[in-house]
Amino acid sequence: MIQTKTYENGLRLVVKKMEGLLSVTMGILVGTGACAETENEDGISHFIEHMQFKGTQKRNAFEISDAFDRLGAQVNAFTGKDITCYYSKCTSEHTSACFDLLADLFLNSTFPEEEMDREKGVVCEEISMNEDTPEDLCLDLLATAFYGKENYGRNILGTAKNVKGFSVADIKRYKKARYCPENIVISFAGGVDFAQVEALVSAWFSNLSAGDFEKRVPKVQFTRQSLVKTKPIEQMHLAIAYKALPRGSEKEEVVTALNSILGGSMSARLFQEVREKRGLAYSVYSYNSCYQECGSINVYAGVNAEHLQDAYGAITDVITDMKKNGITEDEFSRSREQMKASMLFSGESTNTQMLLYGKSLLYYNEVFDFDKKLEKINTITRGQAMEVLAQLFDENQKALAVVGNTDKPLSF
């Protein structure tokens, strides 16, 4: 059973009751992230996510984590390009106590100066760790090559220089502009009662004032660059992005199927050709990345330095062949079954369901229709896939990135 409510201040609530479960996952989703930041704010969404856990008017940082632990609850948060989410999972009997803690850290964080100084060091270490993780670094570089240095091209972590300079005033200014009720969705999934949840949310959030929200629409520019990041490491990391369809497109399921055929599994073309047949990479895969205004299909491979050009050529060969000769009915059927299985598996996870229904309300202002989604997957055809395939993998709308011991970018 799915129930929703929209409050007078614009806040939205969605509850997915999952019969027979004794646990619940709750999340507070905010429609903001790296794509909404200015140059001076670069990294602030992620830094705020960290600081929300560092003390409220009632509890210090230790007391927050200790209180969740005493309930046997899990708590965490993440920041994306266009979303920030604070979430917790607990047994159903502790729903009220757990939400009180989550709401307190979300609404009443005080951002103590000593914690600010400490957490700046922590985030700067995270930035350094990202620099030492070539795969992540390569995909971040690919986003910049594809979108430029602004909006969706921003690194979620920001720069160490920016992080060190953030003040409490900067945090409060950004939160006032973006952490507004009309830009927030609260989502519950699991063994939970709507009346109980609605009373909790009303008590904490109904008086949250509306009216200060700054709607920031990213101006998307495809920059079509080939970038390189020189790192003294053994392996080469390469990535390719092709322009695809935005989130919510009528052909979204078809693009997902095509990506699955290309590089979404061990039986996919990239894995079989680049790794199994040619032995050019240990890790090679593709994924679909969609936002409100734009989207891309991205390919990544980690290869030996001497095989960089061969691997790039092999990936290009696979894509060219797929574009020229199409896909088989067997491939399409297999990818569709994988999509259906993934959907059904997700229906058994409170974490996944919380995000699924929360994001649908946040992004589309619609209640996610599980059965309708399954029906869409069931009714897409190979013919539709061939039509969409003809529109994808345009060599004039792609970007390249390389991380490794070289200063030479890949050529288009």
Catalytic residues, which ones?
49
Note whether 203 and 368 are within 8 A (CB): no
Helix 134-147, helix 113-131: angle, nearest 10: 90
- Straight-line distance from the first to the last Cα atom of the chain, in angstroms, rounded to the nearest whole number: 51
Please state, in angstroms and rounded to a whole number, the distance separating the CA atoms of residues 118 and 359.
Answer: 32
Q: Which residue has the tokens 């095509």?
A: 258
Q: Which residue has the tokens 């709401």?
A: 103
Q: What tokens were used for 188?
A: 């519950």
Please state, in angstroms and rounded to a whole number, the distance separating the CA atoms of residues 108 and 98.
Answer: 15
